[in-house]
Amino acid sequence: MAIGDKAIEVSGLTVDVGAKRLLSDISFVARAGEVTGLIGPNGAGKSTLLAALSGDIKPTEGVVSVAGLDPSRADARAMAQRRAVLLQDVQVAFEFLVRDVVAMGRRPWRGTVDSSVDELIVDAALDATGSTALAVRDIVTLSGGERARVALSRVLAQQTPVVLLDEPTAAMDIRHQEQVLSLMQQIAHRVGTAVVIVLHDLDAAAAYCDHIVCLSNGRIAAAGSVDSVYTDEILSSVYDWPIEVVRSADNDVSVRPRRRDPPAAVARLLSAYQSIPFTRAKSLGSIHQE
């Protein structure tokens, strides 16, 4: 797959779960060599869309193609050789050494390359995420941010033309957030990988994504370049909050939510607190004074 080729094609994708419609008429393209960012408020359908791309959810209607295969119908190993997935919540129920977890990413390629190549790629994947020092640690002893980096190492070890990431930096400190997003941008631009990433940090999405798909209520509200999607009107409407988009002289884009009075629901809560005598509230454990 050459840089610029269509790595993912989605046309008319609709997903229903029971009586609930989660996605409606989604169409977009993600290209090799680009980072495509999925943004939007909670419940907009970002994780559901990623699940449809990975093959974890079957479309009700529409067509999904990932590296030339339908993920809901393709052989599991064939899909694992074409796309790697990092879920939002990284859970490991059993005790494994970190290196063994990362080595699991090589399973789709078992028997196709020499084992020494597998070892080389595992080492490189650990090093790329700054996880080499964790290699002999038990995965259950790691912090949330460390587990997220190990999970990303596993994804990188899988060495696929398509990578799907659901909020990969949510548990990381700012240093590791920047390192990971820069890493994925470089893998896209220099290797030709198609990276699709769900992000809540709008500034980070603007800095590291080549293409933006903005979801709202299960539909695409806007899609295109950062400049075309990041407008006061679009973001304020999608997030139902006043947002100002600021562009620097160097054309860096940042997002500033405007401050305003708290909504009426907050005022009602504060009023309810104030109506309870302090001694009673303290006994109920509702309000504490230092």
In tens, the pLDDT along 107-154 reads: 999 988 888 999 999 999 999 999 999 999 999 999 999 999 999 999
> Tell me, what's the pLDDT at 264?
85
pLDDT classification of 290: cutoffs 50, 70, 90: very low
Q: Which stretch of 86-90, 164-168, 177-181, 191-195 has the lowest confidence by average pLDDT? A: 86-90
Q: How many residues does the chain have?
A: 290
Q: What is the CATH number of the domain that holds 79?
A: 3.40.50.300
Q: Are residues 206 and 285 in the same domain?
A: no
Q: Are residues 270 and 144 in the same domain?
A: no
Q: Are residues 146 and 290 in the same domain?
A: no
- Structurally, the chain folds into a number of domains equal to 2
Q: Are residues 205 and 286 in the same domain?
A: no
Please give the Cα distance from 163 to 227 (Å, whole number).
Answer: 24
Domain that holds residue 78: 6-263
Q: Are residues 85 and 98 in the same domain?
A: yes
Angle 203-208-211 (CA atoms, 0-180°, nearest 5)? 100
Write out pLDDT tens, residues 169-220: 999 999 999 999 999 999 999 999 999 999 999 999 999 999 999 999 999 9
Q: Are residues 67 and 107 in the same domain?
A: yes
Whole-Å CA distances, 131 to 54, 123, 196 = 26, 9, 23
Q: Are residues 26 and 81 in the same domain?
A: yes
Determine the distance from the C-alpha atom of residue 281 to the mean position of all C-alpha atoms in its chain, rounded to a whole number.
41
Q: Are residues 278 and 137 in the same domain?
A: no
Q: For residue 1, tell me if it sits in a domain.
A: no
pLDDT classification of 279: cutoffs 50, 70, 90: low
Q: Are residues 212 and 276 in the same domain?
A: no
Asked whether 227 and 241 are in contact (CB, 8 A), the reply is no
Q: What is the pTM of this model?
A: 0.90
Asked whether 99 and 136 are in contact (CB, 8 A), the reply is yes
Phi and psi at residue 277, to the nearest 5° = -55, 140
Residue 152: how many CB atoms within 10 A of its CB?
A: 27
Handedness of CA 200, 148, 107, 118 (dihedral sign): positive
Look up residue 4 and give its two tokens. Answer: 């610029």
Q: Which stretch of 27-41, 124-138, 240-254 has the lowest confidence by average pLDDT? A: 240-254
Q: Residue 102: beta bridge partners? A: none
> Tell me, what's the pLDDT at 249?
85
pLDDT higher than 70, residue 99: yes
Across residues 219-227, what is the average pLDDT? 98
Q: Are residues 246 and 282 in the same domain?
A: no
Following DSSP, what letter does each residue of the chain receive, concatenated?
--TTSEEEEEEEEEEEETTEEEEEEEEEEEETT-EEEEE-STTSSHHHHHHHHHTSS--SEEEEEETTB-TTTS-HHHHHTTEEEE-SS----S--BHHHHHHGGGGGGTTTS-HHHHHHHHHHHHHHTT-GGGTTSBGGGS-HHHHHHHHHHHHHHH--SEEEEESTTTTS-HHHHHHHHHHHHHIIIII--EEEEE-S-HHHHHHH-SEEEEEETTEEEEEE-HHHH--HHHHHHHHTS-EEEEE-TT--EEEEEPP-PPPHHHHHHHHHHHTS-HHHHHHHTS----
Q: Are residues 243 and 289 in the same domain?
A: no
